[in-house]
Copies of this chain bind each other. A is one copy, B any other.
């Protein structure tokens, strides 16, 4: 296979459901000429409330499917799977690169607010594993980190109730519960791929001086740098293709996923696969 053929292979993007489409959208904006292959493991979502052993098994199976299809780089566009299984998936994909969403988000927050206080909003599993805390403290030992599980925000994003009074009150309650006289956030890290849909609503509740860090765009920048430094970028005079695979519920995937992708999706755009 020539280099050109290898570079034409798609970037594989894997998530437990539709949330990773926010990451796909950011990658497409950054690298519009790349082919993209998305896999949403909708049959087993949400990962956020499952055990680490189950999450690792699901992530391994999803990665094997993407390897079978052929990809040149894997993006683990699920915070929970990134937190649990990144090392395992790097072993599985070797020598091809694997990029999670936790490290890019943590690095972006630390760069913008060195020595600062970071509030991570995430799923229960991501919080339990302390993935962002570890990633931030590795880069900036002077940082203060607080992590807060916000399961209702996932449901809010899926329901499409991303603005208005109900979203505002739920966000305010979570932010109030996470703050006290000892902790006022300098940055809020959106540690779940569903949460970029609530970015405006969260910024409206948080003080203006609080920086919101969306791992979608920071992850896209890391993908771009990794492909460039490896000489694996596709020729930029071609338009990239998009294929979407899901393990269950193409109709629901299309309806909810369209909100995350920011463009209408039809169930015919979603291919069902069995892992």
Contact = CB atoms under 8 A, between A and B. Distances in A.
B166 A159 contact: no
A55 to B, nearest CB: 10
A124 B166 CA distance: 20
Q: Looking at chain A's contact residues, is the secondary structure mostly helix, strand, loop, or mixed?
A: helix
How many identical chains are in the complex?
A: 2
Interface string A147-171: 0000110111011010001100110
Given A50-B248, A252-B49, A159 B152 contact: yes
A154 B170 CA distance: 15
Interface residues of A, number: 26
Contacts of A43: 44, 50, 54
Contact of A50 (B49, B154, B173, B249): B249
Contacts of A263: none
A154 B155 contact: yes
Given A49-B249, A50-B249, A249-B50, A161 B152 contact: yes
A236 interface: no
A51 interface: yes
Contacts of A54: 43, 248-249
A110 to B, nearest CB: 30
Given A44-B44, A152-B155, A249 B169 contact: no
Interface in A184-206: none
A253 B157 CA distance: 24
A247 to B, nearest CB: 9
Contacts of A124: 252
A245 to B, nearest CB: 15
A152 B159 CA distance: 7
Contacts of A44: 43-44
Contacts of A161: 152
A50 B272 CA distance: 13
Interface of A: 42-46, 49-51, 54, 124, 151-152, 154-156, 158-159, 161, 165-166, 169-170, 173, 248-249, 252
Nearest 3 interchain pairs by C-beta = A155-B155, A152-B155, A51-B249
13 contacts: A43-B44, A43-B54, A44-B44, A45-B49, A46-B46, A51-B248, A54-B248, A54-B249, A151-B159, A154-B155, A155-B155, A165-B169, A166-B170
